[in-house]
Amino acid sequence: MDNDLKSQIRKFTIIFVIAAAIFYTAFRFSGIPSEVGTLYYRYAESMLDMQMPYSDFAAEYPPFAMVLILIPGLFSFSSFSYQIAFGLEAYVFLLIGLVCVHRIAGTFSDEPKRFSDLYIILSICLFDFVMDRYDIFPTIMCLAALYFIRFDRMEWAWAMIALGTVTKLYPALMAPVLLIYLCMNGRKRDALKGVGICLVIGSLSMLPFIISDPGSAFMFLTYHMDRGMQVEALASSFLMLFGNLGLIDVGYMFNFGSDNIYGPVPDAVAGCMLYLMFITIMSTYVAYWYILRKRDRRDSYLGDYKSIISQFMMKYL
């Protein structure tokens, strides 16, 4: 490990400790409800009581997410201590992300420190989201996948994509991008191996739940089928604006663990979003395939670079 990276880790650790002290003090004395200290803590308590997710209690998260939610529960004795243990788990993942960013940046810049500094700044700006949600875990898995792709360690990249998928589904969007890249570069064996790795990890993750109760094993896929449009969706921003202007009727409700909007127009738009998402995703895949087809196949660095950029696009889609 180079001295610059060691320095960045020390810097991040100091900043994280200060931010965490402020964060937990605010939660402790303000009475603001914490998703980690309420929902995740209840999930962990239920699992420690030998209850099975999906069959014994409703849960919206995929299998490996439940494992990550359980781990802090092994080292806590109250809601607040669970929050702290969860924060330490998040710190470990953030640290892994910092290392990935620094080393990826080092392959195309003489000053990777600038990129890891930006990573630290963004982590602190999003501190509440990082510390009071589990979304940082699949995000770092995606980042780790990009790291392994950059250094051509494809088996590990596929493993990270698979683990990310059984943590929060959306990392699966990265898989076709990588498949296209490998196949277009004559690496069909690596592509097949990647599919196999994903199938093995996915099957092993689901197996305990299928054995326990096949009927509820896939609850995390069906849990939100009747949910309306969440207020943070891009389309919701326009619909809420039109509602405030009196142009359409917009109502608000809290269900399925989120704030959602409803009404004749929002419900109609929500019904179209799945098709719009499918078209957008497929268009991105086709555009990426077209870019690779047109480029000089000998320029492997360019292919790697475009692969990384395309996967960042998919990750934040």
- The CA–CA distances, whole Å, from 152 to 87, 190, 192, 225 equal 32, 11, 16, 38
Q: What are the residue ranges in the chain where pLDDT is below 50?
A: 298, 301-302, 305, 312-317
Nearest 5°: the CA angle 59, 62, 66 is: 70
pLDDT value, residue 161: 95
CB 317 within 8 A of CB 280: yes
Domain range annotation of the chain: 3-171
134 contacts: CB under 8 Å, gap ≥ 6: 40, 61, 65, 68, 69, 167, 168
> How far is CA 98 from each of CA 13, 91, 198, rounded to the nearest angstrom?
11, 10, 25
Please report the pLDDT score of residue 86 as a whole number. 95
Summarised one tens digit per residue, pLDDT across range 115-161 is 999 999 989 988 888 898 888 999 999 999 999 998 989 999 999 99
Cα separation, 278 vs 86, whole angstroms? 34
Residue that has been written with the tokens 């690496």 in this structure: 187
What is the pLDDT, as a whole number, of residue 156? Answer: 95
Q: What is the model's pLDDT at position 26?
A: 84
CB 304 within 8 A of CB 149: yes
pLDDT of residue 298: 46
CA–CA dist 289, 98 (Å, integer) = 30
Q: What per-residue confidence (pLDDT) applies to 226?
A: 66
Annotate 201-234 with b (16+ C-beta within 10 A) or e (fewer): bbeebeeebeeeeeebbebbeebeeeebbbbebe
Question: How far apart are the C-alpha atoms of 152 and 169, rounded to whole Å?
Answer: 24
Structure tokens at 93: 């993942």
Cβ(310)–Cβ(303) under 8 Å? no
